[in-house]
Amino acid sequence: MNEQWGESMKRLLLVVNPCAGKQLIRNYMVEVVSLLGQYGYSSTVHITTGRGDATEVVSKWGSNFEAVVVVGGDGSLNEVINGVLSIRGNQPKVGYIPAGSTNDFAKTLSLPTNIIDAAHRIGQGKPRPMDVGECNGRYFTYIATFGAFTESSYNASQKVK
């Protein structure tokens, strides 16, 4: 129960990529979870362990939550989107707290790029629809790449991104 409001807490899966960007999320996790709690969310935190982990966890457990919030970069967001869209039936809403190197998705949609500001925005709960594309069995939100461009992104040092 949310003692302040006398309501049930909303269940939220917080998927965190601790290696995203400059790894700033490590300094803000307690504040983010506390802030979301003030908005009535009970957060279950999953720290990703490698490529593909977010998709797998969200695909398996996401339907148990009202929302899945990803804290990471554009790649982490893409993994969560793929996990959510693999769920048949009760698909949770998706929130994004940008913590990556470039945060192109957030900048393109004029979303807050400050971690705490983004958490406040999610807590306020004003979802909006988003177009999603599909190519070769994978979903994408704003850009689909292949070949040399994709490899250069993965091979680039975090310092140059």
Q: Is 160 within the bounds of a domain?
A: no
| Cα distance from N-terminal residue to C-terminal residue, the chain | 43
Average model confidence (pLDDT) across the chain = 82
Q: Is 41 within the bounds of a domain?
A: yes
At residue 155 the predicted structure's pLDDT band, cuts being 50, 70 and 90, is: low
Q: Is 111 within the bounds of a domain?
A: yes
What is d(CA 3, CA 6) in angstroms, rounded to the nearest whole number?
5
Considering the entire predicted model, what is its pTM?
A: 0.77
For the CA atoms of 129, 133, 137, 140, what is the dihedral angle to 10 degrees? -80
**How many distinct structural domains can be found in the chain?**
1
Cβ burial, residue 46 (10 Å; 0-12/13-18/19+): middle
Q: Is 150 within the bounds of a domain?
A: no
Q: Is 30 within the bounds of a domain?
A: yes
pLDDT digits (tens, 9 = 90+) for 25-79: 888 999 999 999 999 999 999 999 999 999 999 999 999 999 999 999 888 999 9
Q: Is 64 within the bounds of a domain?
A: yes
CATH number of residue 39's parent domain: 3.40.50.10330
Q: Is 154 within the bounds of a domain?
A: no
Query: Sign of the CA dihedral 43, 27, 75, 46?
Result: negative
Look up the domain containing 126 and give its range: 10-130
